Structure formats: C-alpha cells, structure tokens
Amino acid sequence: MTQMSSPMAEQLVGKGAARAIRRRQSFGTNRRPSWRTYLVLTIVLLISVYPLYFTFLLASSDAATIARNPIPSLVPGPNFLDNVQRVLASDIKLWQALGNSVIVAVVTSLSVVFFSTLAGFAFSKLRFRGRNGLLVFVVATMAVPTQLGIVPLFIVMSKLGWIGQLQAVIVPGLVTAFGVFWMTQYLREALPFELIEAARVDGASMIRTFWSVALPAARPAASMLALFTFVGSWTNFFWPFIVLGSTNPTLPVSLQLLQASYFKDYSLIMAGVVVATVPLIIMFAFAGKQLVAGIMQGAVKG
C-alpha cells in the first residue's frame, strides 16, 4: 500500500489536499485499477465466450474436419448456413420446437408479470386480514423443491389428457413465488399511496386503479421479471422433457433428440445448438444490461 488514505492526508497536509486525494483515489472508488484487474477479467470473459465461439466453429465445419482437429482452428469453416439448413430440415422438428418455445416463453412471461404485479399490488398497497402471513407463506414456498412433485403432476396431466400438450408446461408456470415477491418489494417503494387514493377519489374501481396506476408504475421491475421468466422458460428442460416428449417438443427437448440421433456428426449437433441459443443471445445483446441490473437489485433487496 503506497497510496495515502484521505484521513491520513488530512492530518499530514491539510483539508484541501485531503479532499483532492479523496477525489482521486478514495479506495478504489475513483482510482482506475491496474492492468492486472483487466487481465483477470479478460481471462474470465474468454472462459465465458470461448465455449460459445467453439460451438459456432464446429457448426461451420464438417464431420471429417472436426474428427481431425479436436481443438478447432479459430477461423470459422464455410458450412455454417448449410449446416443450419440441414438441421432445420431434419426430422427432429426444430421449427416446431422453435415455435413451441416462443409460445411457451411469451405466454408464461406475460402471465407471470400480470399475476405477480396484481398480487404485488395487493401485498404492498392494500390492507387485508392475513396479509403478512400470506406473504411469508409465498416467500417460504420459494424454498420448496417443487420439481420433486413430478410423479403426481404427471398423473394429473395424463388425467386431463394434456400429455404432449403445451398447456402442460404453461399452466404450472403461470405465476411464481419469486415474481410475487419481486413485484411486492418493488411496488412498496415505487407506488405512492397518494396516487392510489387520487384514483379512488376520482371513482375508479379497484381493478381500474390497478390497471391505470399500479401497472404503469411497475413497468421497470415488470420488464426485468419478464426477461428472467423468458430465460427460465426458454432454457427449461426437465418437465417439458417428461410431459411433452418427442411428439411436441420445446427447443431443449429437441436438442436432446438431436444429440441422440446425430451423435456422429458434431457439425449438425452444434448447428442445432446455435439455432436454439441465438435467439436468447440476441435478446441478451439488447436487454443484458437490464438482466445485470435485475440480478444486482434482487441481491440487495432479497
């Protein structure tokens, strides 16, 4: 530690100099870090990016080249579009899976946002008997490993005749404890009571107040919740794998079929991985900033 901390400077060289030093360094808050920090972060970044680039390299190559070079050359091969076309035309129903994944992810995101905001509005702003107890219950259910209820859930779905139907995946995800808790926390601070009272005095019904006052106020947190729900739904495998099967798959389920049927030709397998992954990477390019902010806000509040 060769740097001087500002309280030390204040004693040694006076207040003005101390302020100047504080501006410049104040333990890392203003001072630029050394190259070593950038080196470490660059290595971390390479570790998170290389496997994805590796996938693209293989998807643009062909089976023989991949067999010859376990570590692919950093220059992509010429076959990327060709491989993508071939895998889309194959019998693993990738187009159908893409459509199914979009439907499931969009419907669950909208539904989770709507019902969570509705419940969050009630928990944060309305007075009712048993409110605190119910909210504690919601939080407690987040720790329940509901995946372990799959046997009865499967029995229920087969009684309903929903095996192989998208609603078997959509309905269990219509609203989540995390979403309710998240929106409650947000609305508690973001929605002033005065706004609700003003709407009520103007004669708005409760649901009207929710629609025109609470929902707009909830927008920043709601869009983050929609993003997390979308990612969660898009990447979900276990339950869709069991209940949908190969007849009506979502993307992860059809990737599993792809691996099982084409396990010799890695260029096609990886082309399939690219098809399933690129939509979320594009979304990440536009909304990654919000995901980062969402995780960091959730960590402080939760």
Partner 1 sequence: MSNLTGRQRLSRLEVKLSPYLYVSPFFIVFAIVGLFPLLYTAWVSVHQWHLIGGQGEMIGLGNYTAVLEQPNFWKSLRNTFSIFLLSSVPQVIAAIVIAYFLDTNIRAKTFWRMGVLLPYVVAPVAVSMIFAKIFADQSGAANALLALVGLDPIAWHGSAFWSHVAIATMVNFRWTGYNALIFLAAMQAIPREIYEAAIVDGASRWKTFFSVTVPMLRPTIIFVVITSTIGGLQIFDEPRMFDTMGTGGSDKQWMTLTMYIYELGWGAQKSFGRAAAVSWILFLIIIVVGAINFLITRRIASSDAKGARR
In the complex, what is the shortest distance from the CB of residue 97 to partner 1, in angstroms, rounded to a whole number?
Answer: 12
Show the CA angle centred on residue 139, arms to residues 284 and 230, nearest 5°. 20
In the complex, what is the shortest distance from the CB of residue 80 to partner 1, in angstroms, rounded to a whole number?
Answer: 16
Q: Determine if 75 is a binding residue for partner 1 (CB under 8 A).
A: no
Q: Determine if 190 is a binding residue for partner 1 (CB under 8 A).
A: no
In the complex, what is the shortest distance from the CB of residue 116 to partner 1, in angstroms, rounded to a whole number?
Answer: 8
- CA-nearest of 241, 242, 227 to 280 is 227
Q: Residue 240: count other Cβ atoms within 10 Å of its Cβ.
A: 24
Q: Determine if 212 is a binding residue for partner 1 (CB under 8 A).
A: no
Q: Determine if 31 is a binding residue for partner 1 (CB under 8 A).
A: yes
- CA-nearest of 128, 109, 83 to 287 is 109
Which residues, 269 to 298, sit near partner 1 by CB under 8 A? 269-270, 273, 276-277, 280-281, 283-284, 288-289, 291-292, 295-298
Question: Which lies closer to partner 1 via its Cβ, residue 41 or residue 81?
Answer: 41
Kindly state the number of chain residues that form the binding site for partner 1, as judged by CB under 8 A: 105
Tokens representing residue 7 in the block: 């309280």
Residues 6+ apart with CB under 8 A from 26: 6
Alpha-carbon distance of 158 to 161, in angstroms, equals 5
**Contact yes or no for 249/97 (Cβ under 8 A):** yes
DSSP assigned state of 210: I
Q: Please pick, from the candidates 90, 96, 223, 235, the single residue that binds partner 1 as defined by CB under 8 A.
A: 235
Binding mask 140-179 for partner 1 (x = CB under 8 A): -x-xxxxxxxxxxxxxx--------------xx-xxxx--
Alpha-carbon distance of 141 to 163, in angstroms, equals 26
Q: Residue 23: count other Cβ atoms within 10 Å of its Cβ.
A: 12
Q: Determine if 1 is a binding residue for partner 1 (CB under 8 A).
A: yes
Q: Determine if 58 is a binding residue for partner 1 (CB under 8 A).
A: yes
Q: Determine if 136 is a binding residue for partner 1 (CB under 8 A).
A: no
Q: Determine if 223 is a binding residue for partner 1 (CB under 8 A).
A: no
In the complex, what is the shortest distance from the CB of residue 4 to partner 1, in angstroms, rounded to a whole number?
Answer: 9
Question: CB under 8 Å, gap of 24 or more: what pairs does 10-18 form?
Answer: none
Q: Determine if 95 is a binding residue for partner 1 (CB under 8 A).
A: no
- CA-nearest of 134, 171, 144 to 156 is 171
In the complex, what is the shortest distance from the CB of residue 145 to partner 1, in angstroms, rounded to a whole number?
Answer: 5
Question: Which lies closer to partner 1 via its Cβ, residue 81 or residue 160?
Answer: 160
In the complex, what is the shortest distance from the CB of residue 298 to partner 1, in angstroms, rounded to a whole number?
Answer: 8
In the complex, what is the shortest distance from the CB of residue 164 to partner 1, in angstroms, rounded to a whole number?
Answer: 14
Q: Determine if 54 is a binding residue for partner 1 (CB under 8 A).
A: yes
Alpha-carbon distance of 117 to 137, in angstroms, equals 17
